[in-house]
Chain A
Amino acid sequence: MLPSMAVVELSRWQFAFTALFHFLFVPITLGMTWLLVAMEACYLITGKIIYKDMTRFWGKLLAINFAIGVISGITMEFEFGLNWGYFSRMIGGSFGPVLAIEGITAFMLEATMFGLFFFSWDKLSRLAHFMVTFFMAFGASLSIVNILAANSWMQHPISTFFDYQNMTLQLNSIAALYMHHLAQIRIGHVAFAGLFLSSIFMMGISAYYILKKQDVEFAKRSFAIAVGFGFICSVMVAFFGDQNGLEVAQDEPEKMAAIEAQWKTEPAPAAWVVIAWPDQQTQKNYFSVNIPYALSLIATHSLTGTVEGIQPIIQKNKKRVVSGMKAYTSLEKMWAKTATKSDVAIYQKHLHDLGFVYLLLPYTNNIARATPTQIAAAAQSAIPNVAIAFWSFRIMIGLWFVLFILIVTGLFYSSRDTLEDHPFFLKLCVWSIPLPFICAEAGWVLAEVGRQPWLIHDIMPVFMGTSSLDTTSLITSLALFCLFYGVLFSVELFLMFKFARKGPSSLHN
């Protein structure tokens, strides 16, 4: 017996809301800690007190951000059990270890060093304090390594087998999850995205001080460090993003097709749809603007490759649903202990399609004997929402491009020391602070919406993973999350603005 679709929808909204909220704070922690390491390294080498002040001031902003990061992070760990109980039970032995290692290595180290960072300036030598800062940053980054290894397993579950006797997914090798090509690429992508975001955050606030002619020396140095970091990171984030695209085309063709709104497989060299209004019902793009050849170049780095279209993927899905039904029929016999050797053989042969049979659940309870219409509906439902995938990708890329130009300009002005002569550019920097956040959120929306309807790609649909809750509980909890997050976020922003405006003079030294 599955929970109602309302429970599923509410659980999804809650996860999306809390996860996206969490990711407003993660990239700052991730990137800012390394910027602090860079500043403190300057202090360690030159001994100039201005670098120490810089480290302490930006550290203060980090602390305001970190408090809410901790809150929203603990929420995520609770939420797997609260709302996704069936999923958690099933994957505790496969996805669980990676998540646990995250808590034990990353969060523990980061949080312990975080306390020391603030309270040990006069208790430790300069080198020892630098090491504390370094390990704080290292801990924050380890977090990304583990979370992305876990999430990449959900996008493309490797090295895993299914045990029908107790309905669990188990690992063959945990190392494989970290060695996973997709995971490594995405770790790079998200880590550099965090640095990229923090660089722009720091650029924007420094630009504000230069505009205000307040602590100019301090602000110019901070700007220089931020823009230097930002340039390298903007290139790296794009490189890893591009590599990620190649992997997605291979492992999750339906996600790739949705990102590029390719309904049919176009012959190579295919044209890139720059903007369009994709319509899932009629399977057509309206108002589309195309660039010839570009899709093959972007998605396959060649003129001979192409992106598989959604319609042929649906046809393949139909076959996989039928194959999954065979596996399920045998599975029922195995549960009833009436399976013969040939039943077990059929089960083994079709096991890799077993997940597809569960896609029938919204259409019929008798999934082993579904009708062709039901099979067609299930096959169609295995395609993510094309419009969201298409547009979140374009928002991400578009904002990256705008910010890249901003960074290059900043690098130019900063290296010639003419920042003060370009107040309009400085204003742009200030106003750009929210952009990388939108960029990062769009990236996650793309990754997660693109995986729908799967919770674990090709194995478990999202609607199977929820806890057996009622809608009242979920509505209440969602409302309370909105309330608490709203209040805490307002307080956080209030303090952030207050201290950012005050500037380094708030250190009182």
Chain B
Amino acid sequence: MFEYEFLKIAWWLIIGGVLMVYVATAGFDAGVTMYMPFLRNETDRRIVLNTSAPTWDGNLTWIVFAGGGLFVVWPVVYSTAFSGMYAALLLILFSLFLRPPGYEYRNKIDNATWRKTWDWALFISAVVPVFVFGVAFGNCFLGYPFYFEPHTFRQFWTGDFWDLLNPYALLSGVISVLMVLMHGSVYLQRRTENHLRKLALKVHVIAAILLLIGFTTSGLLLMYKIIGYKLISMATDPTLHPMDNVVKSGMGYWIQTYDHYPWKYMAPFVAYAGIIESLWAAAYEWVNTAFWASCFAVGGIVGTAGATLFPFLMPSSTHPNQSLMIWNASSSQYALNVMLYVGVVLLIIILGYKIFAYSTIWSKKPTLTAEDIEKNKHTFY
């Protein structure tokens, strides 16, 4: 069996990595479906939808990997976050409901109203979950109002849904939407031609610039305006005594941890470099480079959020000493160890068949055009 500490860190990296992959793949699906209600021409709409249709189902399943991982690795985080932010999570769930039928059913009936309805359904199912996830992450930096009953460790949450909607969290929500919109636009440039590519480039430039501003603002707020948390000490076996911590809070603590753990600087650096590189490459129509740069940008932004919080997962604003960190919120060593073997093997297998799936769909012709839609009128979505 591996060392407990090692397993805790390894799983933090794996879950972080899976989240990045989720945002980088399902992110462009969400990004392209944001275009749906605003395109005037039905052929354009079908081109946009079908750039993501063959693989969107598989991309969405990364959330199941991340969610399942969360359940096993940090069950207390999973259960406290989901039951505490009940309304927010239901909002995500219910808007996600519109997604599978949006893809599968839209082209089943040839009727303008029917299609328009699903266009809006796809739009909502793209924007709302992305925004709410962003808001939830934003609140993480402020701390959540939860505590545990002694001995039984029953979780109690003292805030409600409206508390989540504070200015900083709303900014995070907007950043999250802009990030996904940028990523979707870069993907669209890669998979379409002519006027759609031009349109996507425009949206890409606007979204990326706004994203740069928002991301920077968020960092400055964390530095000068937001009360952060710092772990002073914990029990010798934190998983057995998860509440015996000393956690202090103070202005700018989140950014101060960057000096304590210099590796954290990597994440925002990748985020900035990725965004700028994607703009630069898109200007020269190097669509593949722009896409991969955008993937790094998205990964960097998710990574920045995770790294800034490290080692915290969910700080408690009302009972800081009961905050959840990777040290005290992890599952048993046995579960982490077994799941590490299983997870690594499966990740390699998954990577293999994902590459197979993408190359099957795109290797012969990397873009979709109006002719493709005409040719596959009855099979395409």
Contact = CB atoms under 8 A, between A and B. Distances in A.
A495 B111 CA distance: 14
A78 interface: yes
A402 interface: no
Interface stretch (B82-90, B132-140, B248-256): B82-90
B93 A70 contact: no
Interface in B57-96: 57-58, 60-65, 67-69, 71-76, 78-83, 86-87, 89-90, 93-94, 96
Contacts of A82: 82-83, 86, 89-90
Interface in B93-133: 93-94, 96-97, 100-101, 103-105, 108-109
Nearest to A170: B332
A92 B78 contact: yes
A111 B58 contact: yes
A96 B72 contact: yes
Interface residues of B, number: 73
B364 A81 contact: no
Contacts of B58: 108, 111-112, 114-115
A74 B151 contact: no
Given A78-B82, A115-B55, A171-B334, A103 B61 contact: yes
B105 A86 contact: no
Given A93-B75, A123-B360, A499-B108, A108 B350 contact: yes
Contacts of B72: 92-93, 96-97, 99-100
B239 interface: yes
Given A68-B101, A123-B364, A488-B97, A77 B79 contact: no
Contacts of B108: 64, 495, 498-499
A171 B331 CA distance: 11
B154 interface: yes
Interface string B308-339: 00000000000000000000000110110011
Contact of B57 (A78, A80, A115): A115
A118 B376 CA distance: 11
A112 B60 contact: no
Contact of A104 (B55, B93, B350): B350
A170 B378 contact: no
Given A89-B76, A89-B153, A165 B378 contact: no
B156 interface: yes
A63 interface: yes
A401 interface: no
A105 B346 contact: yes
Given A71-B97, A103-B65, A80 B334 contact: no
B71 A92 contact: yes
A82 B91 CA distance: 12
A484 B97 contact: yes
A70 B57 contact: yes
A238 interface: no
B41 interface: no
Interface string B19-32: 00000000000000
Tell me what chain A mostly uses at the interface: helix, strand, loop, or mixed. helix
B240 A100 contact: no
B37 interface: no
A78 B78 contact: no
B288 interface: no
Contact of B101 (A74, A123, A488): A488
A74 B335 contact: no
A112 B104 contact: no
B105 A123 contact: no
A480 B89 CA distance: 13
B57 A114 contact: yes
Contacts of A87: 79
B17 to A, nearest CB: 13
B353 interface: yes
B60 A163 contact: no
Contacts of B334: 93, 170-172
A107 B53 contact: no
B82 A81 contact: yes
Most chain B C-beta atoms within 10 Å of own C-beta, residue among A84, A101, A105, A508: A101
A165 B335 contact: no
Most chain B C-beta atoms within 10 Å of own C-beta, residue among A67, A81, A116, A166: A81
A1 B152 CA distance: 9
Contact of A74 (B64, B239, B357): B64
B82 A103 contact: no
B105 A100 contact: no
Contacts of B343: 104
A121 B361 CA distance: 10
Contacts of A171: 332, 334-335, 338
A99 B68 contact: yes
Contacts of B94: 480, 484
Nearest to B60: A111
B75 A89 contact: yes
A468 B379 contact: no
Nearest to B146: A468
Contact of A335 (B83, B151, B335): B151
A45 to B, nearest CB: 23
A85 interface: yes
B294 to A, nearest CB: 22
A205 to B, nearest CB: 17
A151 interface: no
Nearest to B66: A103
Contacts of B73: 92
B42 to A, nearest CB: 18
A202 to B, nearest CB: 20
Contact of B61 (A108, A116, A124, A498): A108
A297 interface: no
Given A66-B104, A115-B58, A469-B83, A85 B53 contact: no
Contacts of B225: none
Contact of B339 (A80, A100, A111, A488): A100
A112 B339 contact: no
A491 B101 contact: yes
B65 A67 contact: no
Given A64-B104, A111-B61, A123-B360, A480 B90 contact: yes
B16 interface: no
Interface string B143-161: 0000001011111110000
A466 B379 CA distance: 45
Contacts of A85: 79-80, 82-83, 155
Contacts of B153: 89, 166-167
B1 interface: no
The 7 closest A-B pairs by CB, nearest first: A92-B75, A81-B82, A100-B68, A112-B58, A467-B83, A85-B83, A103-B64
Interface of B: 53-58, 60-65, 67-69, 71-76, 78-83, 86-87, 89-90, 93-94, 96-97, 100-101, 103-105, 108-109, 149, 151-157, 239-242, 331-332, 334-335, 338-339, 342-343, 346, 350, 353-354, 357, 360-361, 364, 377-379
21 contacts: A66-B104, A67-B103, A67-B105, A70-B60, A74-B64, A78-B67, A80-B71, A81-B71, A82-B90, A92-B331, A92-B335, A93-B334, A100-B68, A104-B68, A104-B350, A108-B64, A116-B54, A118-B379, A135-B353, A170-B334, A491-B101
